[in-house]
Structure formats: C-alpha cells, structure tokens
Amino acid sequence: MAEEKKKSDYLVEVHDLKEYFPVRTGFVKTIPLKAVDGVSFNIKAGETLGLVGESGCGKTTVGRTLLRLYEPTGGEFYFDGELVTDKNIHSLRKQMQMVFQDPYSSLNPRMTVEDIIGEPLDIHHLYANKKERHDKIMDLMQLVGLNAEHATRYAHEFSGGQRQRIGIARALAVNPRFIVCDEPVSALDVSIQAQVINMFEELQDKLGVAYLFIAHDLLVVHHISDRIAVMYLGRIVETADADELNSHPIHPYTLSLLSAIPIPDPKTARASKRIILKGEIPSPLHMPSGCAFRTRCPYATERCAAEAPQLTDRGNGHMVACWEK
C-alpha cells in the first residue's frame, strides 16, 4: 500500500533521525556508536540548508542516511509530504541524488564520461533511443561546463574540479528536486572551489533544486546557504538564517567555529579574539552525560551535566540548544 501523502510547506522534513552503528567491544558484546542522535530539520523547495561541524560529527552520515545508503536506526524522513521507506525509496531515487566528497574515488575509472553521466539514464530508462541518450548527456555536460570532446575520455584524465563537474552532471541526469552535497569542494583547490560553488548556485537558479550542503568551512556554507545548521557529536546545536547565524551566533560551539574563520583585513583580524576550545572531543562510544559539548564549554554548569538541552527558539526561527546562553 502506498504511503499516504500529507500537505507540507517543505520539500524535505526530517524528524528525530538516528543512525547508530554497532561496535564490537568483546567476543560477543557490542555497544552503539551514535553517529546521528535525534537530528531534525526542514528544507523548502529551491532552498539550501548548510550543515556544518567538525570532522566526525555525523554530517555525512545524515546525508547518506536520508538517501538510504545507510539504513536508519530511527526517525522519519518525509519527501514532498511522503514518508520515505524501504518500499518506496527506489521510486523516489530519481528525485533525490548525491554529489560525493571525493571526485577521485566516486567515479568509475573503467567508464568513459559519457557512460558515467548516462548510467542514471540507463537505470531509470529515461530515453527512447541511443540518439536521445547521447543528446541528453551532451546537454548535461554543457550545463556543468564540460566540452563535448570530453565525452569519450576517462575520469583519470581530468583535474579535480572537472571530475566534480562530472559527478554533478551524473546527479542532475535524472532531473532531481533535492541533492545532498557531501563536502563537494573540500578536496579541491581554493580557486576551483569558488568556480564549483558558483556553478551550484547557477544550477539552483536554473533548475530550482534544493540542497543539503554539508561542509566544515563556515565561510563556504555562509556564501551558498539560505539557512545553516551547526552539528556537534551527532546533534544539531544551533540553526538560523545564514546571515543571522553569521552576525549573531549564540551557542559557544558556533562562536568558536566563527572565530576560526580567517579575516582578510589585518586590523580587524588583530582586534578579533580567537576562541580556542579546551579539552578533547569526547568519544562517540562514551558520550558525557547531559550536553555533549559541556566537557569543552567555558560556560558549563551542573545543569549541563544533568540534562541535555533541547533546541529552543530565540526569535525569528533562531534555534539554540544551550542552557547558559
């Protein structure tokens, strides 16, 4: 029986998403590694939500779990009002795609560019004949800034930026409405990063596609995102409009991330104070009680150890999970 659709203002709705991985600690004993522990967010059609945080905080796991590359431990994911399950994920796969972090390992070295981009068209039977397939691939290559003569070449013959363009063309082949961008520029040179970011924005203007843009660079995320969610050890600790979060951060972790951004003006840079967090990141296998950030937080109190704070609205949709700020 088809899942019942509900009316919604959002294209993507994620409620209390959990992803636990069992880790063996003995001959038969396992304990759960809580990579994602109760994450919720919404994305409107044509909107970009930036998801930022340190390496290992669970950002990539969120994206992969949404697209069912990992089987979720708990929570619900609605796409255009329809609950996504194992039964309907294949039919929804055309509308949800992913651009992977590493353009070097995410492309098949034995396939030409034309076959890499054409593979989604083959799987979903999106052409009537070989000429239509070829024409669609040429249009996609032109859309992402690749030349027609690149079609017969192999992935290893291209630079990192060109390979990422191939990956983006592959994701766009099925005309998706939502793309998970998993740190798509982190493996690229800074000059190439700007070109790829600008291309993502141009494609969004042309196609109206929504992005979950995962990155650890707040500067990049602020540039491309409408809203930003900050993640720490499997949970979202702050979310707000991009400009609001950049100008009025509240959570101590967000304050620390923003203070680490290089400032091009020497005078402003000298006047700004870098917030350096003390202590080590806790192991996700042995999380501290209460707030996971309390072991590194300068404002931590007994209440932080006793009870984990929930996201609360501080005005205009600026959500923060902190007792003391």
Give the per-residue pLDDT at 39.
95
CB contact set of 13 (below 8 Å; sequence gap of 6+):
42, 76, 77, 78
CB contact set of 1 (below 8 Å; sequence gap of 6+):
none
CB contact set of 209 (below 8 Å; sequence gap of 6+):
46, 172, 176, 177, 178, 179, 203
Q: Given the DSSP bridges, would you call strands 312-313 and 319-320 parallel, antiparallel or unpaired?
A: antiparallel
φ, ψ of residue 192 to 5 degrees: the values are -75, -35
pLDDT at 307 over 60: yes
Q: Evaluate whether residue 197 is within a structural domain.
A: yes
Q: Evaluate whether residue 239 is within a structural domain.
A: yes
17-62: pLDDT as tens digits: 999 999 888 788 888 899 999 999 999 999 999 999 888 889 999 9
Under a CB-based contact definition with an 8 Å cutoff, are residues 211 and 36 in contact?
no
Tally of domains within the chain:
1
User: Is residue 281 classed exposed, middle or buried when 0-12, 13-18 and 19+ CB atoms within 10 A define those classes?
Assistant: middle
The band of 270, judged by pLDDT with boundaries at 50, 70 and 90, is: low
Q: Evaluate whether residue 131 is within a structural domain.
A: yes
If you ran DSSP here, which 8-state letter would residue 223 be given? H
Instruction: Give the span between the Cα atoms of 77 and 298, in whole angstroms.
Output: 35
pLDDT at 275 over 80: no
Q: Evaluate whether residue 168 is within a structural domain.
A: yes
143-197: pLDDT as tens digits: 999 999 999 999 899 988 899 999 999 999 999 999 999 999 887 888 888 888 9
241-266: pLDDT as tens digits: 999 999 999 999 999 888 876 666 56
The band of 82, judged by pLDDT with boundaries at 50, 70 and 90, is: very high
E strand or H helix at 59, and its extent? helix 59-66
Instruction: Give the span between the Cα atoms of 215 and 218, in whole angstroms.
Output: 7
199-238: pLDDT as tens digits: 999 999 999 999 999 998 888 899 999 999 999 999 999 9
Give the per-residue pLDDT at 27.
81
User: Is residue 75 classed exposed, middle or buried when 0-12, 13-18 and 19+ CB atoms within 10 A define those classes?
Assistant: middle
Q: Evaluate whether residue 2 is within a structural domain.
A: no
Give the per-residue pLDDT at 287.
86
Q: Evaluate whether residue 280 is within a structural domain.
A: yes
- What's the 3-state SS for 115-175? HHHHHHHHHCCCCCCHHHHHHHHHHHHHHCCCCHHHHHCEHHHCCHHHHHHHHHHHHHCCC
Q: Evaluate whether residue 4 is within a structural domain.
A: no
Instruction: Give the span between the Cα atoms of 319 and 325, in whole angstroms.
Output: 12
How many Cβ atoms from other residues are within 10 Å of residue 302's Cβ?
10
Give the per-residue pLDDT at 193.
86
Domain that holds residue 276: 12-320
Q: Evaluate whether residue 325 is within a structural domain.
A: no
If you ran DSSP here, which 8-state letter would residue 320 be given? E
The band of 1, judged by pLDDT with boundaries at 50, 70 and 90, is: very low
Give the per-residue pLDDT at 6.
64
- Separation of CA 72 from chain center: 16
CATH of the domain at 236: 3.40.50.300
102-155: pLDDT as tens digits: 888 889 999 999 999 999 999 999 999 999 999 999 999 999 999 999 999 998
